[in-house]
C-alpha cells in the first residue's frame, strides 16, 4: 500500500493525465460499468462541522475507492482517498486528496465547457481568482486555443495577481474587470469558479444567443451562483451528476422553480455524443458539483504515475487480510 502525501500528489498530477482519466471513466459510465452509490454527508450536532463519504466502482478498469472529506470550523477542509483493486480487494493507496479535488474539478468543468461552448470561441470569462479558477483556465487551455481571458473577483489585488499568474503560465492576455456583468458582456463563455455565496452571481438577463455558462462553485445546499431562469432559458443543459447537482443550492432552487431533474442529461451523455450544442446560436449551461467517479478516476492516474516514478511510501500489506471463504 502506497501512502501519498500532498507533496507527492502535487508532483504527480498533471492536467492532461487528469482529463484523460476522466474521459476514460465517462466512457465506462456510458457503457454501464460504473457503480456510484449516493454520497453521505453528516453534520455535527452544532452544525459547524461535517463529514462526507462517497464511493465509486470502475468495473471496466478494475478499481474502486472512497473519498472522505471533512470540514472543521475555523480550521479548514481535509480530503482523503482510499484506492482498491476490485479483483483482490487490495488497498493500493491512501492519498491526500486535496489536489485530486482541485484537478478533477478543473478537468470536469473544462471538458464540459469545451464540449458545450461554441467551437470557434477563443475567449473565456472567469468569475473568481482562487486556486480553482486558475486550475480551470490551465485545464481549458489544454483543450482549446485561448486568446483572451477576462476575470472578475471582488478584490482588485486578487484580479491583478490572477492576471499575472495566468499570463505567465499559459501566455494569454488577461483582462481584469470590475463586475460579473462586465465578464458576461465581454465573453460568450463564462465560468463561475469562486467561493459561492448565498445569492446568485450570474443573472439570466445577461444571456444572449450563443452564450455558454459553466457553474462549478455551488456545491453545498446553501450555496448559489446562477439564477433559476438561466436553467430555463438555456437551450441545452448538462450536469456532471444529477445526484450531486440537485443537492446543491442552485440545483435545489432550480428544481423548486420547475426544472425537472430527471430530464437533465449527465456528462457521460455529452461525452458519448447523445446530447450537445447543435447550433452556434444556442444558449448552453453546464453545472458541475463533482462525484466520486471523477475523484477515483483521477486517483487511478496518480497511483499509476506514482508506481512509474517511485513516489510515496510503501507501507507493505495494509490492512491485514482476514481469510474468509
Q: Report if residue 323 sits inside a domain.
A: no
Q: Report if residue 319 sits inside a domain.
A: no
Same-domain check for residues 297 and 197: no
- Give the pLDDT score at 24: 97
Same-domain check for residues 240 and 265: yes
pTM: 0.95
pLDDT digits (tens, 9 = 90+) for 256-274: 999 999 999 999 999 999 9
Distance in angstroms (rounded) separating the CA atoms of residues 134 and 165: 8
Same-domain check for residues 140 and 14: no
Q: Looking at the predicted structure, is the pLDDT value of residue 221 above 90? A: no
Q: Report if residue 321 sits inside a domain.
A: no
Same-domain check for residues 196 and 262: yes
Which range among 50-54, 218-222, 247-251 shows the weakest confidence by mean pLDDT?
Answer: 218-222
pLDDT digits (tens, 9 = 90+) for 61-99: 999 999 999 999 999 999 999 999 999 999 999 999 999
138, containing H or E segment: helix 131-141
Contacts of residue 263, Cβ cutoff 8 Å, sequence gap at least 6: none
- Give the pLDDT score at 325: 64
Same-domain check for residues 145 and 264: yes
pLDDT digits (tens, 9 = 90+) for 41-51: 999 999 899 99
Distance in angstroms (rounded) separating the CA atoms of residues 165 and 210: 29
What is the CB neighbour count within 10 angstroms for residue 150?
23
Q: What is the CATH number of the domain that holds 167?
A: 3.40.50.720
Work out the pLDDT band at 220, boundaries 50, 70, 90: confident
Same-domain check for residues 21 and 62: yes
Q: Report if residue 135 sits inside a domain.
A: yes
Same-domain check for residues 296 and 274: no
Own/partner contacts of 173-180, CB < 8 Å, gap of 24 or more, are 173/147, 173/148, 173/149, 174/148, 174/149, 174/150, 175/148, 175/149, 175/150, 175/151, 176/150, 176/151, 176/152, 177/150, 177/151, 177/152, 178/152, 179/152, 180/127, 180/152
> What is the distance between the terminal CA atoms of the chain, rounded to a whole angstrom?
23
Task: Give, to the nearest 10 degrees, the angle between helix 292-309 and helix 98-116.
Answer: 120
Q: Report if residue 23 sits inside a domain.
A: yes
Same-domain check for residues 115 and 174: yes
Cell numbers for 189: 463563455
Same-domain check for residues 276 and 151: yes
The helix, strand and coil proportions of the chain, stated in percent and rounded to the nearest 5, come to: 40, 25, 40
Q: Report if residue 325 sits inside a domain.
A: no
- Give the pLDDT score at 281: 98
Q: What is the CATH number of the domain that holds 27?
A: 3.30.1780.10
Residue with cell 447537482: 245
Return the percentage of the chain with pLDDT > 70, whole number. 100
Average pLDDT over the chain reads: 96
Q: Report if residue 322 sits inside a domain.
A: no
- Give the pLDDT score at 218: 87
What is the CB neighbour count within 10 angstroms for residue 13?
21
pLDDT digits (tens, 9 = 90+) for 121-178: 999 999 999 999 999 999 999 999 999 999 999 999 999 999 999 999 999 999 999 9
pLDDT digits (tens, 9 = 90+) for 165-210: 999 999 999 999 999 999 999 999 999 999 888 999 999 999 999 9
Q: Looking at the predicted structure, is the pLDDT value of residue 219 above 90? A: no
Domain count of the fold of the chain: 2
Averaged pLDDT for residues 28-49:
95
Same-domain check for residues 235 and 111: yes
Is residue 230 within 8 Å of residue 251, measured between CB atoms?
no
Residue 43: which domain range?
Answer: 2-101+292-314
Distance of CA 244 to the CA centre of its chain: 11
Same-domain check for residues 200 and 143: yes
Q: Report if residue 320 sits inside a domain.
A: no
Phi and psi torsions of 21, nearest 5°: -65, -35
Same-domain check for residues 217 and 274: yes
Is residue 178 within 8 Å of residue 152, measured between CB atoms?
yes
Which range among 6-10, 25-29, 195-199, 209-213 shows the weakest confidence by mean pLDDT?
Answer: 195-199
Amino acid at each position: 500500500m502506497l501512502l501519498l502525501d500532498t507533496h507527492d500528489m502535487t508532483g504527480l498530477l498533471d492536467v492532461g493525465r487528469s482529463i484523460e482519466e476522466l474521459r476514460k471513466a465517462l466512457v465506462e459510465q456510458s457503457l454501464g460499468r460504473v457503480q456510484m452509490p449516493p454520497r453521505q454527508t453528516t453534520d455535527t450536532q452544532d452544525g459547524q462541522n461535517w463529514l462526507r463519504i462517497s464511493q465509486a466502482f470502475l468495473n471496466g478498469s478494475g478499481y474502486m475507492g472512497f473519498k472522505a472529506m471533512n470540514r472543521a470550523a475555523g480550521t479548514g477542509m481535509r480530503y482523503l482517498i482510499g484506492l482498491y483493486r476490485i479483483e483482490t480487494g487490495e488497498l493500493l493507496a491512501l492519498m491526500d486528496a486535496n489536489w485530486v479535488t482541485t484537478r478533477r474539478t478543473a478537468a470536469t468543468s473544462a471538458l464540459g465547457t469545451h464540449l458545450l461552448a461554441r467551437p470557434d470561441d477563443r475567449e473565456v470569462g472567469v468569475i473568481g481568482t482562487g486556486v480553482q479558477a486558475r486550475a480551470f483556465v490551465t485545464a481549458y487551455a489544454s483543450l482549446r486555443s485561448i486568446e483572451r481571458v477576462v476575470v472578475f473577483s471582488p478584490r482588485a489585488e486578487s484580479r491583478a495577481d490572477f492576471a499575472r499568474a495566468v499570463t505567465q503560465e499559459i501566455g494569454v492576455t488577461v483582462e481584469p474587470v470590475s463586475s460579473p456583468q462586465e465578464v458576461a458582456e465581454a465573453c460568450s463563455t463564462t465560468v463561475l469558479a469562486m467561493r459561492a455565496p448565498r445569492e446568485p452571481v450570474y443573472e439570466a438577463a445577461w444571456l444572449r444567443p450563443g452564450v455558454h455558462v459553466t457553474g462549478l462553485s455551488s456545491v453545498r445546499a446553501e450555496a448559489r451562483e446562477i439564477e433559476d431562469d438561466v436553467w430555463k432559458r438555456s437551450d441545452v443543459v448538462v450536469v456532471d451528476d444529477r445526484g450531486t447537482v440537485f443537492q446543491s443550492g442552485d440545483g435545489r432552487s432550480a428544481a423548486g422553480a420547475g426544472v425537472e431533474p430527471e430530464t437533465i442529461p449527465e456528462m457521460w451523455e455529452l461525452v458519448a455524443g447523445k446530447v450537445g450544442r447543435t447550433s452556434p446560436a444556442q444558449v448552453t449551461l453546464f453545472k458541475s458539483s463533482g462525484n466520486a467517479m471523477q475523484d477515483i478516476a483521477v486517483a487511478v492516474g496518480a497511483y499509476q504515475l506514482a508506481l512509474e516514478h517511485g513516489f510515496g511510501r510503501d507501507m507493505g500489506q495494509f490492512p491485514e487480510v482476514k481469510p474468509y471463504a
